[in-house]
Protein backbone atom coordinates (compact mmCIF):
# COMPACT_ATOMS: atom_id res chain seq x y z
CA UNK A 1 0.00 0.00 0.00
CA UNK A 2 1.37 3.44 -0.98
CA UNK A 3 1.98 5.89 1.83
CA UNK A 4 0.32 9.29 1.56
CA UNK A 5 2.81 12.14 1.74
CA UNK A 6 2.36 14.51 4.70
CA UNK A 7 2.39 18.20 3.79
CA UNK A 8 2.63 20.99 6.37
CA UNK A 9 -0.67 22.84 6.96
CA UNK A 10 0.30 25.52 9.52
CA UNK A 11 -2.38 27.21 11.62
CA UNK A 12 -0.04 29.90 13.00
CA UNK A 13 3.25 31.53 12.06
CA UNK A 14 4.97 32.51 15.29
CA UNK A 15 6.18 35.67 13.52
CA UNK A 16 7.05 38.57 15.83
CA UNK A 17 5.45 41.97 15.32
CA UNK A 18 8.83 43.38 14.29
CA UNK A 19 9.23 40.62 11.68
CA UNK A 20 5.73 41.29 10.32
CA UNK A 21 6.35 45.06 10.05
CA UNK A 22 9.67 44.51 8.25
CA UNK A 23 8.53 41.78 5.86
CA UNK A 24 4.84 42.34 4.95
CA UNK A 25 2.63 45.12 3.65
CA UNK A 26 -1.12 45.57 3.17
CA UNK A 27 -2.53 46.19 -0.30
CA UNK A 28 -6.02 47.54 -1.07
CA UNK A 29 -7.55 46.89 -4.48
CA UNK A 30 -10.87 47.78 -6.06
CA UNK A 31 -10.09 47.40 -9.78
CA UNK A 32 -13.00 44.94 -10.15
CA UNK A 33 -15.48 47.40 -8.60
CA UNK A 34 -16.68 48.19 -5.08
CA UNK A 35 -18.47 44.84 -4.54
CA UNK A 36 -15.15 43.03 -5.08
CA UNK A 37 -12.78 45.45 -3.32
CA UNK A 38 -10.36 43.56 -1.08
CA UNK A 39 -7.41 43.98 1.27
CA UNK A 40 -4.55 41.52 1.39
CA UNK A 41 -1.25 41.30 3.26
CA UNK A 42 1.69 40.10 1.16
CA UNK A 43 5.49 40.01 1.51
CA UNK A 44 7.22 43.34 0.79
CA UNK A 45 9.14 41.60 -2.02
CA UNK A 46 5.90 40.69 -3.77
CA UNK A 47 4.33 42.94 -6.40
CA UNK A 48 1.13 42.89 -8.46
CA UNK A 49 1.55 41.43 -11.94
CA UNK A 50 -2.10 41.94 -12.92
CA UNK A 51 -5.05 43.59 -11.16
CA UNK A 52 -7.40 43.85 -14.13
CA UNK A 53 -10.26 41.33 -14.16
CA UNK A 54 -9.26 38.37 -16.34
CA UNK A 55 -11.64 35.48 -17.06
CA UNK A 56 -10.29 31.94 -16.74
CA UNK A 57 -12.90 30.03 -18.74
CA UNK A 58 -11.56 26.51 -18.05
CA UNK A 59 -12.17 26.96 -14.32
CA UNK A 60 -15.12 29.37 -14.42
CA UNK A 61 -13.54 32.14 -12.34
CA UNK A 62 -12.35 35.69 -12.87
CA UNK A 63 -8.92 36.67 -11.57
CA UNK A 64 -8.92 40.13 -9.99
CA UNK A 65 -5.39 40.13 -8.58
CA UNK A 66 -2.14 38.32 -9.31
CA UNK A 67 1.05 38.84 -7.31
CA UNK A 68 4.55 37.35 -7.52
CA UNK A 69 7.78 37.51 -5.56
CA UNK A 70 10.15 39.87 -7.40
CA UNK A 71 13.32 38.86 -5.57
CA UNK A 72 14.71 35.91 -7.56
CA UNK A 73 16.82 34.80 -4.56
CA UNK A 74 13.60 33.95 -2.69
CA UNK A 75 11.49 30.81 -3.22
CA UNK A 76 8.88 31.06 -5.98
CA UNK A 77 5.53 32.21 -4.61
CA UNK A 78 2.46 33.38 -6.50
CA UNK A 79 -0.77 34.73 -5.01
CA UNK A 80 -4.07 35.07 -6.88
CA UNK A 81 -7.40 36.60 -5.92
CA UNK A 82 -10.39 35.32 -7.90
CA UNK A 83 -14.16 35.24 -7.79
CA UNK A 84 -17.18 33.72 -9.43
CA UNK A 85 -20.57 35.43 -9.49
CA UNK A 86 -23.24 32.88 -8.68
CA UNK A 87 -26.88 33.54 -9.40
CA UNK A 88 -29.93 31.51 -8.43
CA UNK A 89 -28.43 28.31 -7.00
CA UNK A 90 -25.88 28.86 -4.24
CA UNK A 91 -23.89 25.69 -3.55
CA UNK A 92 -22.11 25.65 -0.21
CA UNK A 93 -18.52 26.90 -0.32
CA UNK A 94 -17.06 23.38 -0.01
CA UNK A 95 -19.07 22.07 -2.98
CA UNK A 96 -18.13 25.13 -5.02
CA UNK A 97 -14.44 24.62 -4.30
CA UNK A 98 -14.57 20.86 -4.98
CA UNK A 99 -15.95 21.65 -8.45
CA UNK A 100 -13.01 24.01 -9.09
CA UNK A 101 -10.52 21.44 -7.77
CA UNK A 102 -11.82 18.83 -10.24
CA UNK A 103 -11.33 21.28 -13.11
CA UNK A 104 -7.78 21.96 -11.89
CA UNK A 105 -7.11 18.22 -11.60
CA UNK A 106 -5.82 18.82 -8.08
CA UNK A 107 -5.63 16.51 -5.07
CA UNK A 108 -7.03 17.77 -1.77
CA UNK A 109 -4.50 17.27 1.07
CA UNK A 110 -5.99 19.23 4.03
CA UNK A 111 -9.02 21.36 4.84
CA UNK A 112 -10.46 23.46 7.67
CA UNK A 113 -13.42 25.71 8.34
CA UNK A 114 -12.23 29.28 9.01
CA UNK A 115 -13.52 32.75 9.82
CA UNK A 116 -12.45 35.69 7.63
CA UNK A 117 -13.46 39.06 9.07
CA UNK A 118 -16.59 37.58 10.64
CA UNK A 119 -17.58 35.46 7.62
CA UNK A 120 -17.48 31.68 7.48
CA UNK A 121 -14.94 30.42 5.02
CA UNK A 122 -12.98 27.38 3.92
CA UNK A 123 -9.21 26.81 3.99
CA UNK A 124 -7.68 24.04 1.85
CA UNK A 125 -4.34 22.68 0.77
CA UNK A 126 -4.02 20.85 -2.54
CA UNK A 127 -1.39 19.57 -4.93
CA UNK A 128 -1.18 19.63 -8.71
CA UNK A 129 1.19 18.23 -11.25
CA UNK A 130 1.42 20.25 -14.45
CA UNK A 131 1.78 18.68 -17.89
CA UNK A 132 5.48 19.55 -17.71
CA UNK A 133 5.79 17.30 -14.65
CA UNK A 134 6.36 20.22 -12.26
CA UNK A 135 4.63 19.74 -8.92
CA UNK A 136 2.99 22.61 -7.03
CA UNK A 137 1.38 22.97 -3.64
CA UNK A 138 -1.42 25.51 -3.29
CA UNK A 139 -3.23 26.75 -0.24
CA UNK A 140 -6.54 28.52 -0.76
CA UNK A 141 -9.02 30.30 1.46
CA UNK A 142 -12.44 31.36 0.31
CA UNK A 143 -15.69 32.92 1.43
CA UNK A 144 -19.07 34.00 0.12
CA UNK A 145 -19.50 37.77 -0.33
CA UNK A 146 -23.04 38.51 -1.52
CA UNK A 147 -23.53 36.66 -4.82
CA UNK A 148 -19.78 36.11 -5.22
CA UNK A 149 -17.54 33.27 -4.16
CA UNK A 150 -14.15 34.87 -3.51
CA UNK A 151 -10.94 32.86 -3.23
CA UNK A 152 -7.31 33.71 -2.50
CA UNK A 153 -4.67 31.17 -3.46
CA UNK A 154 -0.95 31.04 -2.75
CA UNK A 155 1.09 28.61 -4.82
CA UNK A 156 4.65 27.39 -4.36
CA UNK A 157 6.71 24.74 -6.08
CA UNK A 158 6.74 21.51 -4.14
CA UNK A 159 10.50 21.90 -3.63
CA UNK A 160 10.07 25.34 -2.01
CA UNK A 161 6.84 24.78 -0.10
CA UNK A 162 8.34 24.06 3.33
CA UNK A 163 10.30 27.34 3.14
CA UNK A 164 7.10 29.24 2.27
CA UNK A 165 4.40 27.44 4.30
CA UNK A 166 4.23 29.99 7.16
CA UNK A 167 4.30 32.94 4.75
CA UNK A 168 1.50 31.34 2.74
CA UNK A 169 -0.55 30.84 5.91
CA UNK A 170 0.03 34.48 6.90
CA UNK A 171 -1.17 35.75 3.51
CA UNK A 172 -4.26 33.53 3.53
CA UNK A 173 -5.20 34.45 7.08
CA UNK A 174 -4.86 38.19 6.44
CA UNK A 175 -7.21 39.16 3.64
CA UNK A 176 -10.80 40.28 3.53
CA UNK A 177 -13.37 42.07 1.46
CA UNK A 178 -13.63 45.84 2.03
Query: For residues 40 and 7, is the Cβ–Cβ distance under 8 A?
Result: no
- Other CB atoms within 10 Å distance of the CB of residue 105: 10
- Other CB atoms within 10 Å distance of the CB of residue 19: 11
Q: Could you tell me if residue 156 is inside a domain? A: yes
In the chain, how many domains are there? 1
Give pLDDT tens digits for 42-83: 999 999 999 999 999 999 999 999 999 999 899 999 999 999
**pTM of the predicted structure, to 2 decimals:** 0.92
d(CA 80, CA 32): 14
Q: Name the pLDDT band for 125 (thresholds 50, 70, 90).
A: very high
Q: Could you tell me if residue 7 is inside a domain? A: no
Is residue 123 helix, strand or coil? strand
Domain region containing 34: 24-177
Name the DSSP class of 3. P
Amino acid sequence: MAQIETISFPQSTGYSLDYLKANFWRLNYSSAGPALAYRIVVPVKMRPTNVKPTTVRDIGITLIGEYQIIDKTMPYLEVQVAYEKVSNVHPDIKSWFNEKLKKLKGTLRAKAAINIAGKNGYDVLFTRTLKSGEQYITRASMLVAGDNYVMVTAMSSKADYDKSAKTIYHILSNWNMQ
